[in-house]
């Protein structure tokens, strides 16, 4: 079985500051890990993903995440926050077959001017 835990339901950062959104996973099989973003009144869209290979993955809009097996973590970072980054961010995990695909409870990011 797979699950993810997102630490911090709300995160506020100043514009230009580092963004760090935390995600820990639990999986009985090698996981596929994802970050999705949901802007207000819009559907979810894929930000980045880890399947195999390089543990540091880069996504859209300057975001990246690092898969750390020893820490069972997949934290999302961005060096410099923009106002347009304000959204809800969801970490997700799946098996390598895709039969199960589970989301975390989400982290709401607020960017302060």
Partner 1 sequence: DTGVSQDPRHKITKRGQNVTFRCDPISEHNRLYWYRQTLGQGPEFLTYFQNEAQLEKSRLLSDRFSAERPKGSFSTLEIQRTEQGDSAMYLCASSSGSWWETAGELFFGEGSRLTVL
Smaller CB separation from partner 1, 15 or 101: 101
Number of residues written out for the chain: 113
| CB closer to partner 1, 16 vs 30 | 30
* Consecutive H or E run containing 102: strand 101-103
Q: How far is the CB of 59 from partner 1 (least distance, A)?
A: 11
Give the position of tokens 């994802």. 34
Q: Are 1 and 28 within 8 A, CB to CB?
A: yes
Q: Which residues form the interface with partner 1 (CB under 8 A)?
A: 6, 9, 32, 34, 36, 42-46, 49, 51, 90, 92, 94, 96-106
């Amino acid at each position: 079985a797979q699950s993810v835990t997102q630490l911090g339901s709300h995160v506020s950062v100043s514009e230009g500051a580092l963004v760090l959104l935390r995600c820990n996973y639990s999986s009985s099989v090698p996981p596929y890990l994802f970050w999705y973003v949901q802007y207000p009144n819009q559907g979810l869209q894929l930000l980045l993903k880890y399947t195999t290979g390089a543990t540091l993955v880069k996504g859209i809009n300057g975001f990246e995440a690092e898969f750390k097996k020893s820490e069972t973590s997949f934290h999302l970072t961005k060096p410099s926050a923009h106002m347009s980054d304000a959204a809800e961010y969801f970490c997700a995990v799946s098996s390598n077959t895709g039969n199960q695909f589970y989301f975390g409870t989400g982290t709401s990011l607020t960017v302060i001017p």
